[in-house]
Structure 1
Amino acid sequence: MKNNNSTTSDTSSGTLTMRDADSLLARLIRKIVQGPKGWLDLARAASSKFVRVDQVQAAPIRARKPVVQPARKPVVQPARKPAVQKSRPKPNLAPFHLYIPFAQNAELDAQDFAADVYVAHGVQAIPAADAMAIACGGRVICDCIEIPSFAQRVLPSNWSRINTRFIDRTVEGYLRHCDSLITVGWELGKELETYGRPVHVIPNYRYAEELQPSNRLREKCGIGPDTPLVLAISNITSGLEAVLEGISGISQPVHLAVMGHLKPAAYREKCEMLVQELGLEGRVHFFDPVPYDELTSTASAADVGLIVRDPVIPNNFVSLPNRIFDYLFSALPIVTPDIPDIARIVREENAGVVIEGIGAGGWRKGILQALEYSAEMKRNALAASRKYVWESLEDQLFEALGRPKSVTFVGYTDLNKNNRTMRMAASLRKMGVTANVYTSFDAEMRRTG
């Protein structure tokens, strides 16, 4: 009878049961105690429980058929087109490629132009004036003839935006380090006060003169003395379209003479086309500028003078152009947009009309009003011209420059053709001050001989 609670061993099968394992473990312990002889007996007994490896018949090994891999077609890679390198434009260094060499040359030439004061004509000349002052000593004063920021000028430059921001930030730093600033108008003077330097206003008054009326302009236009003639002096960059439309709406045969340049060339073409569209071909006349000493005499033949400027443009809003005084000295009533400095003079002197808005209707109404009161306004304009004379500013200029013994005017452009600079230099020389002019043209002549 079998005991269900026992674990049996089957020696015939060659398997080792749990009971066998326990028995072998017990015997192992006894034999270990008996020493080497006991180990040998134990090994013999254990070997009888297992099938010998050499008695196991190995299964036959079947030879495998070789696996033939199908031939792979070579993968043809498409030829790569050479990468096209995008051509980058050459770095645009304008205007630094002009103003920095000018300043470097100014430093080299400083000893020959040493002075108590260096007056930079416009912000672009400050680096050169500053270089001279560092080399030889002296004070730097900037004559800010327009708003310092190039980004807010009337005609946008073709410089990159980066360059424009760069030079505006550079100019701001130079202005804050100037000893003082002078400028052409009171409204611009307010803007310049933000740089924290003393500001002196020296407007562009003309030398005192007796008006010599002439009929030359009417002769050029081919009109008689009774035909209304409106004059626009100076370079015009915008706003003339509204003037032309305003004149086309006047029933009287009013003529317009433009004495100056329309810039850029595309703008002139646009205005010329508008003249044709409005049917004003025989009533609008374009002329080149006349010499400065002939300006008032030539302009006096007109009935009204226009200030064609858009006050929305920051540089225009703070302007006080030469033309306001040219018109007064020509005895012309002035029609102008509401530009603060110009409007103040026109109203105070009752020498013209400040229009409301700069549309065609505003210009038409302003021109008609000026023509209606032309005789009175002409008298007022001529009377005002005796007040706004350059001679009245000479002492003020001398004080603004700090009562110097010597002054060098520094400008990138040819200052010998600049009326404002030449008036200043002449006035200072009359007071016994040594006044010299240094420009990029002088620097170039010294380099090339």
Structure 2
Amino acid sequence: MSASDRTLLILSLSPLRSDPRVLKQINLFKDRYTVTTCGFGPAPDGVAGHVELDRALPSWPRDPQRLLLRRYPQVYWGIAAVAEAGRQLRGRSFDAVLANDANTLPLALSLAPARGVHADLHEFAPKEHFNKPAWRLLVAPYVRWLCRTYLPQAASVTTVSEGIARQYGQDFGVSAGVVTNAAPYTEREPRPTQLPIRLLYSSAGQRYRRIENIMEAMRGTPEHLELDLIVMPNEPAYVAELVELGRTLPRVRFRDPVPYTELVDTVAEYDVSVSVIPPTNFNLAHALPNKFFEAVQGRTGLVIGPSPAMQALLERHGLGAVTRDFSAQALREVLGSLTPELVDGWKRHAHEAARELSSEHQNLGWERAIAALLDGRA
């Protein structure tokens, strides 16, 4: 059987056409194997088949009574998106399944693919919303059960950073490889830095990210600095507060979100990408986010907080500066030191590191894992 005859299901309870990590998997495998996708929204380009799930279907439990009673199998199979995906996939056979996140694992394993399941974990699932008391009380024990029961049944596992991989190993005894959220390589030259120096901050609009600190850091900075923000409307009331705050700050503007395919080109319009992420939960403490790698491909400098995973890469390649802590004052100090000459040096280093830090290099982790499954070596 040729590689193109091998059947691979890529399963994710997310909107596939706008999920950067899943799109990288699809683009990596769609021309190598016969790829079917299952997730929210219409089919991604180039796949052989697609199981579309209604975006309105919940993908996490909404059954507090059963969660409290720890009737976890009933909780899982009662999740609307899981039940609908199971119904549509029933009776179909695949050589392998690439299951994204812990909440797809029982479903993927229930399909009994001939060569097994690879799990790609985008976060450390048991602590994903640990800052919310109700989630910590009811959902976290359920997620630990999910991981404890099903992760050891996966033939192979990957996740997004070394810190998260270590935690999965310590808590659940699985050996997880690391595939970072790197962006695809782009061929471009660094753009010379001129005044005003243009700063960009892009993020999900969630209160625990403390985006107001990024904005407040602009208060009192030199007039040759300008900050644009791209904030997704995850928490509309919070985003409205940020917009109101922006009206009181000089040289701070909001711009509309752009499609994933246009992100790197958008970042390349700027001189410095700000990626200060306070460690308000476990996953943010170990963050190595998309925007770090989009800045590299945009040949843009970086200013980050002292997040270990980001700091190690930034200092290894000379990509930018690290603030002393996550406060507005610490960011203000770094921003006040920016000069065109300093930023041009960061841009040159980003250009030199762009191939090594591209998804083409990072995706070898998925490539090897799926090849091992389909060749019977996992």
| TM-score in terms of structure 1 length | 0.60
Is 1:362 equivalent to 2:362 in the alignment? no
Is residue 258 from structure 1 mapped to residue 229 from structure 2 by the alignment? yes
Structure-2 change in CA distance of 1:258 and 1:297 (3 Å): same
1:106 aligns with 2:74: no
Residue-by-residue CA offset, 1:8-49 (whole Å, 9 max, x unaligned) = xxxxxxxxxxxxxxxxxxxxxxxxxxxxxxxxxxxxxxxxxx
Deviations 1:364-412 (A, max 9, x none): 12223344611111111122112212322454433223523389xxxxx
Instruction: Map 1:189-204; keep pairs closer than 5 Å.
Output: 189-194=165-170, 195-204=172-181
Relative to structure 1, is the Cα distance of residues 111 and 403 closer, same or farther in structure 2, using a 3 angstrom cutoff? farther
Shift of 1:313: 1.7
SS, match of residue 234 in structure 1: strand
Query: Is the CA contact 2:102–2:146 (under 8 Å) kept in the aligned structure 1?
Result: no
2:190–2:299 CA contact under 8 A, matched in 1? no
Q: Which has the larger radius of gyration?
A: 1
Do 1:227 and 1:253's aligned partners in 2 also have CA atoms closer than 8 Å? yes
Gaps of 5+ in 1: 1-89, 216-223, 408-449
Kindly provide the CA deviation profile for residues 318-367 of structure 1, in whole angstroms up to 9, marking residues without a partner as x.
22111111001111111111111111111011111111111121101222
Pairwise CA distance, 1:244: 1.8
**Structure-2 separation of matches of 1:395 and 1:265:** 38
Give the conservation status (yes or no) of the 8 Å contact 1:333–1:381: yes
The answer as to whether partners of 2:160 and 2:181 remain within 8 angstroms in 1 is: yes
Aligned mates of 1:315, 1:209 — CA distance in 2: 28
Q: Which segment is superposed worse, 343-352 or 392-401?
A: 392-401
Query: Within 2, Cα distance between the matches of 1:170 and 1:397?
Result: 23
Residue correspondence of structure 1 range 19-418 to structure 2 within 5 A: 96=76, 99=79, 102=82, 105-106=85-86, 109-115=89-95, 117-133=96-112, 136-149=113-126, 151-153=127-129, 156=132, 161-194=137-170, 195-211=172-188, 226-237=195-206, 238-276=209-247, 279-280=248-249, 283-371=251-339, 373-401=342-370, 403-405=372-374
Range 253-262 or range 184-193, more displaced: 253-262
Instruction: Select between 172-181 and 325-334 the one with higher mean Cα deviation.
Output: 172-181
Query: How many angstroms apart in 2 are the aligned matches of 1:140 and 1:253?
Result: 52
Matched positions, count? 304
TM-score (norm 2): 0.71
Q: Percent same amino acid among aligned pairs?
A: 21
Instruction: Tell me the C-alpha RMSD between the 2 structures.
Output: 3.2
* Cα drift, residue 144 of structure 1: 0.7
